[in-house]
Amino acid sequence: MEKLKKILNRIDNKGYKAYKDLQGQTFNFPDFDLDFYYIQGDPFAGPSQIAVKLDQKGARFPAATFSNRVRSIALNDYLTRILDQKIKKICRGRRGTGKSGMVAVDAPGQEILERSSVRVTPAQVEARLFLGLPARGRKILGRQAEEMLLEEIPSLVKSALFFQSLERSPLVNHIQTAEDQVFMRNELEEKDLIAFIANDSILPRRSGIDQRPLSRREAMPFHSPPSLEVELNPPHAGTVKGMGVPRGITLIVGGGYHGKSTLLRALERSVYNHIPGDGREQVVTNPESLKIRAEDGRRVEKVNITPFINNLPYGQDTSSFCSDEASGSTSQAANILEGLEAGAKVLLMDEDTSATNFMIRDMRMQKLVAKNKEPITPFIDKVQQLYSDLGVSTILVIGGSGDYFDVADTVIMMDEYKPRDVSQEARSIASDYKTLRQKEGGEAFGEVLKRKPQPRSFNPRKGKKVKIKSRSDEAIQFGRENINLHNVEQIVDPSQTRAIGDLIFFALKENIIDGNKPLAEILKTIEKELEEKGLEMASPFPNQPQGNYARPRPLEIAAALNRLRTLQVRV
């Protein structure tokens, strides 16, 4: 500590570059070690990164708080949140030019994800923080740096990273809530369900850009219709009752503004665990559920979309379909086939974001436009084959077409935000009023290609330098290319996007993308490596673990690969 103080004194008022002396150095404080992983080049550049490391002899987290993977993820997440709260209390923030004075941790949102911000092991607690080392203009403010590093950081550590200083019951609740969700998600499989929504869950959010729950005063809590009610038995909460969504084909119907999309969005995000108080902390979805939507304008590289699209004008091939600018329907077809290739087990679709001509083609239109003039086989004619041939279930929001009653196993009607099981009614309507439309789907679903991404089609460099950067959660700059993830709706955290960019680079560097491995195998290999080495492995810089990664699902890594505009594959 004294040594650091001396250095700061010495470089006070010098040019900003003098901070670089700190990079790679470790300083011993009474309660912890402080490592300087990375020092920024100037006060406007990306922040510096430090790690504080405490011995468990002092931190004293009971083994039970991190004794399995789920607990350890939940504990790390919890401590990250506490750090974020305490930073806001303890650290003064702005002191000088640019980011000077800033202290930050990679703060999570409503989901509990595996992150690289905090790591608790049997031996130690490590937390990674981002700092704006202070300067006025380009001159080092040594005194201010001293305040940050020798006063603020130690009191932050004291208040956030010692078990003794934490309130016990919210910590335990956080861990147990996460553990229960994983347990319930596993129970789905045994019970032939693909989703579960506990009674009393709060599904609506404050707004499109605010994922916190609508207040209990404004929100109608969810209650299962009696016929769909099931019980799950997570270890901590005990018996939980709620609506089970069975495998097969489920429709969510109902009038406009009655809560259909809100229900689907809750299911989309419940592939992840939610924090206590979120309202969705007892909502769980099959972990391999994938949101499918139309995404016109996206690029598609050699996808077999013949299950849905055939006979395009001018004889364009659809068994290995390429497009730099796919249409609504072709992009939706490609999203499904790519999803299946990457291992999706449940498809989630909303009419609000689907191409109409992809979803339906009614009897009258069949009469007017002959089949050989219509390239599209609508989803309604393939959805049952998806289940019978591939075991892939679908949950579909569709208020606009009763034709789907013919193919549905379960029909849930949202009525003033309340779900009703109308499966029987829908079935009798379907038999009383025949649609008279012709089935167009053929005998079998069709083939899902195993495409092999070619490494030479990836260039992580811009000029001579590797350049991989994420912009918000919606885009990755990969070399000269921009990967647009705006429509990949199950990326829920910008730190997942960051991890995806660096994981793709990792997979290239490590020859996992070797030109011979099919995409699904690439994803499996990345997963296996992540299990062994942790998220830190994604860091492109040796000896600089990044404190701002969150774990993406393989399905979203695949989504990013598929959206790289230069991607080439062999089939």
CB of 170 to Mg ion, least distance (A): 35
Q: Which is nearer to ligand ADP, 256 or 313 (CB)?
A: 256
324 versus 352: smaller Cβ distance to Mg ion: 352
Binding mask 249-278 for Mg ion (x = CB under 5 A): -----------xx-----------------
| Smallest distance from ligand ADP to CB 197, Å | 11
From the list ligand ADP, Mg ion, none, pick the one residue 257 interacts with, judged by a Cβ distance below 5 to 8 Å according to partner type: ligand ADP
Per CB under 6 A, which of residues 235..254 are in contact with ligand ADP? 254
Render the burial of 137-166: b for 16+ CB within 10 Å, e for the rest: eebbbbebbbbbbbebbbebbebbbbbeee
How many other CB atoms are found less than 10 A from the CB of residue 64? Answer: 11
Q: Which among 347, 259, 342 has a CA at the least distance from the CA of 553?
A: 342
CA proximity to 145, closest of 43, 30, 37, 26: 43
Closest distance of CB 425 from ligand ADP, Å: 18
d(C-alpha 415, C-alpha 110), whole Å: 27
| Assigned token pair, 536 | 């830190």
In angstroms, what is the minimal distance from the CB of 396 to Mg ion?
A: 12
565 contact partners, CB below 8 Å, separation of at least 6? 299, 324, 481, 482, 483
Q: How far is the CB of 416 from ligand ADP (least distance, A)?
A: 9
For residue 569, count CB atoms less than 10 angstroms from its CB and return exposed for 0-12, middle for 13-18, buried for 19 or more. Answer: buried
Residue closer to ligand ADP by CB (options 21, 200) is 200
> Least distance to ligand ADP from the beta carbon of 239, Å?
23
Parallel/antiparallel/unpaired status of strands 410-415 and 249-253? parallel
Cβ of residue 215: shortest distance to ligand ADP, in angstroms?
A: 10
Helix (H) or strand (E) holding 421: strand 418-421
Q: Which residue is nearest to Mg ion (CB)?
A: 261
Question: Nearer Cβ to ligand ADP, position 254 or 441?
Answer: 254
Cβ-based nearer residue to ligand ADP, 417 or 458:
417
Among 352, 416, 425, 447, binds Mg ion (CB under 5 A): 352
Alpha carbon distance 6, 230 (integer Å): 65
Which of 43, 98, 204, 248 forms a contact with ligand ADP (CB under 6 A)? Answer: 204
In the complex, the smallest distance separating the C-beta of residue 259 from Mg ion, rounded to whole angstroms, is 8
How many residues interact with ligand ADP (rule CB under 6 A)?
A: 16
> Minimal distance in Å, beta carbon 399 to Mg ion?
7
Size of the residue set binding Mg ion (CB under 5 A): 3
Write the DSSP symbol of residue 437: P
Helix axes 69-90, 153-160, angle to 10 degrees: 140
Amino acid at site 323: S
Q: Is 296 exposed, middle or buried (0-12, 13-18, 19+ CB in 10 A)?
A: middle
Instruction: Kindly give, in sequence order, each residue whose CB lies less than 8 Å from that of residue 501, ignoring residues fewer than 6 positions away.
Output: 468, 469, 470, 476, 477, 478, 483, 560
> Which one of 22, 75, 203, 522 is in contact with ligand ADP (CB under 6 A)?
203
Closest separation in Å from C-beta 402 to ligand ADP: 16
- CB-nearer residue toward ligand ADP: 197 or 392: 197
**Distance in Å, CB of 263 to ligand ADP, minimum:** 7
Q: Select from 28-36, 189-197, 345-353, 492-500 the region that touches Mg ion (CB under 5 A).
A: 345-353
Site for ligand ADP in 406-425 (CB under 6 A): 414, 417
**Given the complex with ligand ADP, which of 261 and 495 has the nearer CB atom?**
261
CB closer to ligand ADP, 218 vs 510: 218
Q: Which does 27 bind (CB under 5 to 8 A by kind): ligand ADP, Mg ion, none?
A: none
Residues 253-282 within binding reach of ligand ADP (CB under 6 A): 254, 256-262
229 or 389: whose CB is closer to ligand ADP? 229
Cβ distance to ligand ADP smaller for residue 16 or 405: 405
- Burial tier of 201 (Cβ tally within 10 Å: 0-12, 13-18, 19+): buried
448 close to 455: Cβ distance less than 8 angstroms: no
d(CA 491, CA 524): 19
Give which of Mg ion, ligand ADP, none residue 204 binds (C-beta under 5 to 8 Å, depending on kind). Answer: ligand ADP
Give the nearer residue to ligand ADP in terms of CB position, either 195 or 503. 195
DSSP element (H, E) containing 176? helix 168-190
Handedness of CA 490, 496, 501, 507 (dihedral sign): negative
**Contact partner at residue 274 from ligand ADP, Mg ion, none, CB < 5 to 8 Å by partner kind:** none
Q: Where are the alpha helices (DSSP H) in 378-518?
A: 383-390, 423-432, 494-509
Site residues (vs ligand ADP, CB under 6 A): 203-204, 214, 218-220, 254, 256-262, 414, 417
Query: Using CB under 5 A as the criterion, which residues of the chain lie in contact with Mg ion when the complex forms?
Result: 260-261, 352
